Amino acid sequence: MRKGRRSIPGTYYALTFATLNRKPILANADVANIIFQCFDWLETDERLTWHCIMVMPDHVHAVIQLGHKQTLSNVMKSLQNFTAKQINALLGRRGSLWQETYYDHGIRRDASLNAIIRYCYENPVRRGLVQEAKDYPYWQCKFKMD
């Protein structure tokens, strides 16, 4: 979390976390599945509820609701440690995978929640990876996007 911020269980957060030195190693089906499965595991363990996850080549956007009795820093530490081990093993690499810091933004209004999910959905278009957002494969959302 950014300095001076605190976790509030039950709050919606927009998260962005990036690979170390922004190495573009995430946009492949196996790597994306590791990230998606980790969010599923954290949800099953009631540490968070995820709403959308966008895996870009060098960073991840996610919109989550923090679980009760959880801190955002502990959830992010678990997510980054687990995914780093799994992705490093898959890619035959070692060392740090993620940048130490991540961006978090508390979402307080439904309109903001919708706008942030839309921003995540359209990110591959803005980056020039696809012509239409629906064509980007490394995305999961619990809401229908059009």
pLDDT digits 0-9 by tens, 27-68? 899 999 999 999 999 999 999 999 999 999 999 999 999 999
Pick the CATH number of 12-141 from 2.102.10.10, 3.30.70.1150, 3.30.70.1290, 3.40.50.10190: 3.30.70.1290
Q: Does 2 have pLDDT greater than 60?
A: no
Instruction: Name the pLDDT band for 5 (thresholds 50, 70, 90).
Output: low
Instruction: Name the pLDDT band for 78 (thresholds 50, 70, 90).
Output: very high
- pTM of full prediction above 0.85: yes
**Buried-exposed string 18-49: b where 16+ CB fall within 10 A, e elsewhere:** bbeeeeebbbeeebbebbbebbeebeeeebbb
Q: In percent, how much of the chain has pLDDT > 90?
A: 87
Q: Would you state the pLDDT for residue 18?
A: 98
End-to-end alpha-carbon separation of the chain, Å? Answer: 32
